[in-house]
């Protein structure tokens, strides 16, 4: 796995979000039940979103925040695997977010409101059956953001951070793959998270499948064990025989894992402990979804 300077946590899941698989946000104590905007994955209507007219303290760049936000929602809509759709409701003066107003607000925090090193947070509210009823994206009020097409040193790319947060808004948890849009870290000037990677796209497709997806694609399933006992929260990675990392998931409490949506081909699968750069704490929603702690006491050896 590629190591990368992890400058800042992109987000905290504050309403007990949960992750699994490509990283799904699970219902706490829901035995793996994913939180999403429709019970069966079929949206009855596009997900509405609203943008605050409040501006961040430090913002540079030639594009408007609305332009960037529209591009970001469009990116997730454009994935061939997923039928996710959004509907812009307009801009509002409101800056404070509310988890019960059923307004899915994209807004900027007041200085000091989010924790140090947190660039953005997505607040999800859902019912016990997993249906999301409200989601607000709150961007840091403490760091310099850029709307530039070409990112500049010293600024965080608003488009990248928003693409990551919209991934949370649709129900994705952090990926263990650092190159993924749903990786929990970014750095100044970094723009690679503007475009969802294969594992991000597969995750979105499994939550809200387009057509018959993942029919016609391949699946890998198995069990990670140690002394015959299941290993919980091993990072299981599927690498194409060419060397390209395609997707990853996390093992469940019994050690079981399943990766769907893979193009038919030959893969090398490995399991590793989440011992950095991504740690179990970065996917707290998965732990909480199963109500168990990760398996410890083993190391990863590559050969
Ligand atoms: Ca709200
Ligand atoms: Zn995040």
Same domain, 141 and 195: yes
Same domain, 192 and 227: no
* DSSP H/E element including 163: helix 158-169
Distance CA 250, CA 256 (A): 9
Note the ligand closest to the C-alpha atom of 183: 2
Interval 204-209 mean pLDDT: 94
Could you tell me if residue 272 is inside a domain? yes
Same domain, 183 and 234: no
Query: What is the pTM assigned to this prediction?
Result: 0.90
Q: What is the pLDDT of residues 38-85, one digit of tens each?
A: 877 789 899 999 999 998 889 999 999 999 999 999 999 999 999 999
Q: Which two tokens stand for residue 101?
A: 């107003």
Could you tell me if residue 303 is inside a domain? no
Same domain, 102 and 248: no
CA of 204 to the centre of ligand 2 (A): 15
Same domain, 103 and 246: no
> If pLDDT is split at 50, 70 and 90, which confidence band does 22 have?
low
Same domain, 84 and 185: yes
Which of 176, 207, 238 terminates a domain? The answer is: 207
Q: Which residues surround ligand 2, an ion (CB under 5 A)?
A: 10-11
CA neighbours within 13 Å on the CB side: how many for 119? 24
Q: How far is CA 255 from the centre of its chain?
A: 22
Note the ligand closest to the C-alpha atom of 92: 1
Same domain, 164 and 260: no
Q: Is the pLDDT of residue 4 over 60?
A: no
- CATH number reported for the structural domain that contains residue 45 in this entry: 3.40.390.10
User: What is the percent of the chain with per-residue pLDDT over 70, rounded to a whole number?
Assistant: 92
Same domain, 224 and 203: no
Domain ranges, residue 258: 218-290
CA of 85 to the centre of ligand 1 (A): 18
Residue 59: predicted pLDDT:
95
Interval 98-120 mean pLDDT: 94
Q: What is the pLDDT of residues 131-155, one digit of tens each?
A: 999 999 999 999 999 999 998 889 9
Q: What is the pLDDT of residues 222-267, one digit of tens each?
A: 999 999 999 999 999 999 999 988 889 999 999 999 999 998 999 9
Same domain, 196 and 248: no
Q: Is the pLDDT of residue 19 over 70?
A: no
Same domain, 225 and 132: no
Could you tell me if residue 179 is inside a domain? yes
pLDDT, the chain, mean: 88
Could you tell me if residue 300 is inside a domain? no
Could you tell me if residue 191 is inside a domain? yes
The residues near 35 (Cβ < 8 Å, ≥ 6 apart) are: 17, 18, 24, 25, 26, 27, 124, 126, 130, 131, 132, 171
Residue 222: predicted pLDDT:
93
> If pLDDT is split at 50, 70 and 90, which confidence band does 178 have?
confident
Q: Is the pLDDT of residue 160 over 60?
A: yes
CA of 13 to the centre of ligand 1 (A): 15
CA neighbours within 13 Å on the CB side: how many for 234? 26
Residue 7: predicted pLDDT:
26
- CATH number reported for the structural domain that contains residue 259 in this entry: 2.60.40.10
> If pLDDT is split at 50, 70 and 90, which confidence band does 115 have?
confident
Q: Is the pLDDT of residue 6 over 90?
A: no
Q: Is the pLDDT of residue 99 over 60?
A: yes
Same domain, 182 and 40: yes
Q: Is the pLDDT of residue 164 over 90?
A: yes
Same domain, 139 and 32: yes
Could you tell me if residue 302 is inside a domain? no
Which of 146, 177, 207 terminates a domain? The answer is: 207
119 closest CA partner among 12, 248, 267, 25: 12
Could you tell me if residue 2 is inside a domain? no
CA of 122 to the centre of ligand 1 (A): 10
Inter-CA distances, 303 with 73, 247, 248, 259, 275, Å: 41, 21, 19, 23, 17
Could you tell me if residue 75 is inside a domain? yes
Q: How many domains does the chain have?
A: 2
């Amino acid at each position: 796995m590629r190591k990368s300077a992890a400058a800042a946590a992109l987000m905290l899941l504050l309403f007990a979000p949960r992750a699994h698989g490509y990283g799904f946000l699970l219902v706490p104590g829901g035995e793996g039940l994913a939180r999403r905007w429709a019970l069966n994955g079929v949206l009855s209507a596009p997900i509405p979103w609203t943008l605050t007219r409040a501006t961040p303290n430090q913002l540079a760049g030639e594009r408007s925040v609305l332009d960037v936000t529209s591009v970001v929602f469009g990116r997730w809509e454009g994935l061939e695997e997923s039928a996710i759709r959004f509907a812009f409701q307009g801009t509002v003066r409101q800056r404070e977010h509310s988890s019960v107003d059923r307004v899915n607000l994209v807004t900027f925090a007041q200085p000091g409101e989010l924790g140090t090193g947190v660039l953005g947070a997505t607040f999800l509210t859902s019912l016990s059956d997993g249906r999301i009823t409200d989601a607000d994206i709150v961007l840091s009020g403490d760091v310099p953001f850029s709307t530039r097409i070409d990112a500049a040193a010293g600024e965080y790319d608003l488009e990248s951070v928003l693409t990551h947060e919209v991934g949370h808004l649709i129900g994705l948890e952090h990926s263990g793959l650092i190159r993924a849009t749903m990786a929990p870290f970014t750095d100044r000037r970094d723009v690679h998270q503007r475009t969802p990677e294969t594992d991000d796209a597969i995750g979105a497709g499994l939550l809200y499948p387009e057509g018959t997806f993942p029919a016609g694609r391949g699946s890998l399933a198995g069990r990670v064990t140690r002394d015959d006992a299941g290993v919980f929260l091993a990072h299981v990675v599927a690498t194409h025989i060419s060397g390209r990392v395609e997707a990853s998931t996390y093992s469940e409490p019994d050690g079981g894992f399943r990766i769907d949506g893979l193009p038919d081909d030959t893969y090398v699968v490995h399991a590793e402990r989440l011992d950095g750069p991504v740690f179990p704490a970065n996917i707290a929603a998965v732990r909480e979804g199963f109500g168990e702690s990760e398996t410890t006491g083993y190391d990863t050896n590559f050969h």
